[in-house]
Amino acid sequence: MSKIILRNIKAPVKDTEDFALERAKELLKKQGVRYTGSISLCKKSLDARRKQDIHYTCSVIADIEQNISDKKLSHLDAVPLNENSISVLYGSIPTSEPPVIVGFGPCGMFCALLLAENGYKPIVIERGGNIISRKAAVRRFYESRELDTECNIQFGAGGAGTFSDGKLLTRINDGKCSYVLKRFVEFGAPEDILINAKPHIGTDLLEIVVQNIEERIKSLGGRIFYDTKMLSVSLDASGRALSVRTNKGEFPCATLTLALGHSARDTYAYLIKNSYEIIPKAFSVGVRIEHLQEELNYAMYGDMAPLLPPAEYSLSKRAGERGVYSFCMCPGGEVVAAASEEGGVVTNGMSCHKRDKENANSAIAVSVLPNDYNNSALGAIEFQRGLERRAFDAAGKDYSAPLQTLGDFMNQKKGSPPTKVQSSYMGKGKFALCDLDDILPPFVCEMLRFGIKDFGGKIKGFDAPYALLTGVESRTSSPLRIVRTDEMTCPGHNNIYPCGEGAGYAGGITSASVDGISCALEIMRKYKAVN
């Protein structure tokens, strides 16, 4: 018996799964291929490019007889199913101390989980708090404008992704992606993430998933230390990490995994000062745009809107070396205050699983190239920080966000208050009317206008003058990369493993999780578990 995936099955928006399975059975019968009774939906993707023909494109997994010919596979538009599993190899180098992981975002979380499940009893140090203390810190910030610089939307259990939409879509082609999705379901995520082409968990459910993974790691002998910030690394003469010094004491280590978030600027500064090889890379900055979700639904789906999930979009446009694109689109969500440094305003987007709030929001981001900030890692950080401080100053220095209606921005005016669309930032109303041209560099503003005009031609109403722009979106990804070898270690430091989004090797929850898994596999391939 073998498994195949039948692809590109067109199905209606009602009774999608039943229709796709019956159609798959018809195709198999037509080609004389017997299935053994097990047939299931693999993926479904909404195709709304033509309003008069909105449908799902599905793929179906079928257990079939052995030795199906390539010709029949072609006629079925099918491919063999390769079920990728995690294959662990254990190394021979003995260790007297456990592996230490800095950061408990998706990368550190999956690295620790896999190590714990294989007997390595990792130690995780996380500068932020657990889920409960993070939620309290964010609530306090919203209510009193008192920012906790160590426990906030950027730092703490689950990383920055915990306070987002929990989007799991990734463009990397790695078999470990399906493993990550299955593990998320095991720990409490909805099963539909295994089927939807654009899976998401939602902030409300992601909190539960993170807590369940934490408990699993602890049950296997792993330890997680919250409110514990890495200050320095003790090295031997060969550059091998011996221990990590933190605000809570010293942690001896066999290996050190740097699963830093993209906002760990003080840790970056320490690594740069101590001659770790760090290079700048391109990143993006921009604003959050808000529309009414209902208007977006009808613009994209027409009369089918009531039958379909909240509409989402992915838009991009290039001009020369630069691109402008939508990023982290949150249907039925809100714009959140994501600052982690005093005196700076940072925006991000968040949705709960139901995506049922009034507004849709997305980052509209513009490419920033290394020559825009003197081609240095510290220059990249200062570029981001400079925008955040200008936004803070322009909006009144109380963490209100600078806001401008799209009509004013496109016409280079200012002062018009929100009308049809109301701001969702920081629980609504915590903004100041500003001119975004006074905050963002000219090349960013020019590209934003260029892109939004184009996007308005693709989605009716996208460029509506009453849409809102809120600044600044400055943390779309890490602005630098910690160089590593083919064995995932820092050059000259053969037991220090930089990985994940903060190290410049991932761009979202799924890809960061995959990188954490790859890091754990490398550690286990080389070292024995501590006795």
Q: Give the pLDDT confidence of 347-362 residue by residue, as tens digits.
A: 999 999 999 999 999 9
Q: What is the residue-averaged pLDDT of the chain?
A: 95
Q: Closest by alpha carbon to 384, among 373, 376, 396, 374?
A: 373
What residue ranges in 150-282 does DSSP mark as E strands? 223-225, 230-235, 241-246, 249-252, 256-258, 278-280
3, 79 in Cβ contact below 8 A? no
pLDDT at 204: 94
| For residue 1, pLDDT beyond 60 | no
pLDDT digits over 414-423, tens only?
999 999 999 9
Mean pLDDT, to the nearest integer, of 99-106? 98
- H or E segment at 381? helix 377-394
pLDDT digits over 330-388, tens only?
999 999 999 999 999 999 999 999 999 999 999 999 999 999 999 999 999 999 999 99
Reported confidence tier of residue 530, pLDDT bands at 50, 70, 90: confident
| For residue 125, pLDDT beyond 60 | yes
pLDDT at 36: 84
- How many CB atoms within 10 Å of residue 262? 26
Top-tier CATH class for 100-279+486-526: alpha beta
Reported confidence tier of residue 81, pLDDT bands at 50, 70, 90: confident
Mean pLDDT, to the nearest integer, of 177-191? 96
Residues 6+ apart with CB under 8 A from 466: 405, 406, 407, 418, 419, 420, 421
Omega before 233 within 30 of 0, i.e. cis: no
Number of C-alpha atoms within 13 angstroms, CB side, residue 132?
1
| For residue 255, pLDDT beyond 80 | yes
Q: Domain 2-80, what architecture?
A: 2-Layer Sandwich (3.30)
Mean pLDDT, to the nearest integer, of 90-106? 97
Which has more confidence, 135 or 85? Answer: 135
Domain boundaries, the chain: 2-80, 100-279+486-526, 282-473
Reported confidence tier of residue 428, pLDDT bands at 50, 70, 90: confident
Common-topology check for domains 2-80 and 100-279+486-526: no
47, 57 in Cβ contact below 8 A? yes
Q: Closest by alpha carbon to 380, among 285, 291, 473, 299?
A: 285
| For residue 439, pLDDT beyond 90 | yes
Tokens 């491919």, residue?
Answer: 79
Mean pLDDT, to the nearest integer, of 56-65? 93
| For residue 295, pLDDT beyond 60 | yes
pLDDT at 427: 84
Mean pLDDT, to the nearest integer, of 173-197? 94
Reported confidence tier of residue 172, pLDDT bands at 50, 70, 90: confident
Kindly write down the DSSP assignment for every residue of 300-323, as one continuous string.
HHGGGGGGSPPP----EEEETTEE
| For residue 509, pLDDT beyond 90 | yes
pLDDT at 396: 97
Mean pLDDT, to the nearest integer, of 313-340? 96
**Sequence letter at residue 133:** S
Mean pLDDT, to the nearest integer, of 392-412? 98
Q: Is 400 helix (H, G, I), strand (E, B) or coil?
A: coil
pLDDT at 165: 83
pLDDT at 84: 67
Q: Are strands 347-350 and 35-47 parallel, antiparallel or unpaired?
A: unpaired
pLDDT digits over 459-499, tens only?
999 999 999 999 999 999 999 999 999 999 999 999 999 99
Reported confidence tier of residue 154, pLDDT bands at 50, 70, 90: very high
| For residue 183, pLDDT beyond 60 | yes
| For residue 253, pLDDT beyond 60 | yes
435, 427 in Cβ contact below 8 A? no
Distance, in Å, from the CA atom of 69 to the CA atom of 317, rounded to the nearest integer, reads 43
pLDDT at 175: 83
How much of the chain, in percent, has pLDDT values that exceed 70?
A: 100
Residues 6+ apart with CB under 8 A from 300: 48, 311, 313, 459
What residue ranges in 69-121 does DSSP mark as E strands? 78-80, 100-102
The CA-CA-CA angle for residues 157, 160, 164, to 5°, reads 110
361, 353 in Cβ contact below 8 A? no
Q: Are strands 100-102 and 256-258 parallel, antiparallel or unpaired?
A: parallel
